[in-house]
Chain A
């Protein structure tokens, strides 16, 4: 099984390297967002002692994970909608290798893109006050978040009937990033939006990263973020496997 998954991962890797545009694009978007938001709204945003750049970087990182993972939906969808999946299925190889190959590739991609985005943030003026322990915890939370998002994008790739639907889901993800604490404190939102923003998974993850990097009190956010991530990973994994199997036994 490990051998089959490894070969499948190699295949995804090769295909990703063939279209570096998707990685470059996934990098350009968060950098542009940082510059745009940081410099355009930075002047009017009054957050007391924190600079606006410092404030939005955690949100930008989350947005970059979400954006960067979309390509996983497309590659899963493309494999499922062509004859390729039938060829794999008619071979004596592990059934799950196909999915694990995509997931591994997606996680590695997201880690690389995220690291590069954080690097870009430093160039633009991000100055965190985090110590080594803070960075380690933040990386752990981020890693879990990346895995959770990956399973969601795999599910989207499995259930989407066409490319347009995947774009629709991508838009939905974008709404979630904006209706969170990414670009403004949720206290400034109207009531309905605030209730939504405070109770969706991205807000606690962003608050945790922000707290760790800028040295705020974390409160319950770390635990809520971990619960969301682990919950999404478990549910996402089980759901993806179930959908994949049901597609196979049609």
Chain B
């Protein structure tokens, strides 16, 4: 399968602050690629360079075979950008917003294209209302619909779910997955490990200006830290008994004042084993929690391994 985006040694500094220190990655045609990183990691800078909005200080990048720096108009014809802040005109209707982009992209039958996209994004009822009456989720949908005008080959989504409530976030995940089924290549940025895991075919972690780890979600799972189960007890005696019992069963424990933590990779068998042992020994557990690794944990592990 061919690479539709190729990035090599991308560098960018703002004054003395080095944001990108040599970023390399490839995106395959028709796949969802997630650039994962915390706030200020340089994800948006990366997207801005690839979408021709910002000049890089060094390195090379091609999209659809076009040089991002030298053939920027050809690149612009192949891509579209949905930035972090909804790029919709508040005092125009949803339909007018779509038609404006269609006219600028010189799409023939722009009215038809607009209607089809409104339908696809479930905005037909609100099509002729001013955007300033739209909810946050509707605005986001319109924003992405505007990016789809003219069938770009690559879509850039910069933090598409930031600021959305959980329900709208799930709806957005569905929408992105459907776009990819249609064969469009998607590069999205996110701060959420779970979002990248859920959506992406390939994840690259951007940290301190370089890609510190990349691979499919399955590959990354192997190198990323495991989660934990946490057991809380009401009394210290119970906690001490539990510690003795579990250490005897050769579990590695992290011991806190009122609770203990056990590394868990999501295995149900392990959870069952721990709980069975505690129940059999009649040690009451006040509270049981399972925790996914946080992005910070992931970074620490990845950096530790280098």
The chain A residues found within 8 Å of chain B, CB to CB, are 3-4, 7, 11, 14-15, 18-19, 82-84, 86-93, 248-250
Count of CB-CB pairs between chains A and B under 8 Å:
64
Is A84 a contact of B76 with CB atoms below 8 Å?
Answer: no
Q: Shortest distance in angstroms between A228's beta carbon and chain B's nearest beta carbon? A: 35
Having A15-B92, A90-B79, A250-B54, one finds 20 other A-B pairs with CB under 8 Å, namely A3-B106, A7-B100, A7-B103, A11-B100, A15-B91, A18-B91, A18-B92, A18-B130, A82-B86, A83-B86, A84-B87, A86-B53, A86-B81, A86-B83, A87-B83, A87-B87, A87-B101, A90-B52, A90-B53, A91-B104
B48 — which chain A residues lie within 8 A by C-beta?
86
Ordered by A's residue number, 6 sampled pairs between the chains whose C-beta atoms are within 8 Å are: A14-B96, A18-B91, A86-B51, A90-B79, A90-B81, A91-B80
Q: Shortest distance in angstroms between A156's beta carbon and chain B's nearest beta carbon? A: 21
Judged by a CB distance under 8 angstroms, whether B77 is at the interface is: yes
B53 — which chain A residues lie within 8 A by C-beta?
86, 89-90, 248
CA separation between A196 and B74, bound complex, in Å?
53
Judged by a CB distance under 8 angstroms, whether B194 is at the interface is: no
Is B146 a contact of A87 with CB atoms below 8 Å?
Answer: yes
CA separation between A91 and B85, bound complex, in Å?
17
A91 — which chain B residues lie within 8 A by C-beta?
76, 80, 101, 104-105
Q: Shortest distance in angstroms between A215's beta carbon and chain B's nearest beta carbon? A: 45
A93 — which chain B residues lie within 8 A by C-beta?
104
A92 — which chain B residues lie within 8 A by C-beta?
73-74, 76-77, 105
B contact residues, range? 20 to 34
Q: Shortest distance in angstroms between A246's beta carbon and chain B's nearest beta carbon? A: 12
Q: Shortest distance in angstroms between B265's beta carbon and chain A's nearest beta carbon? A: 40
A4 — which chain B residues lie within 8 A by C-beta?
104
CA separation between A136 and B103, bound complex, in Å?
38
Is A83 a contact of B85 with CB atoms below 8 Å?
Answer: yes
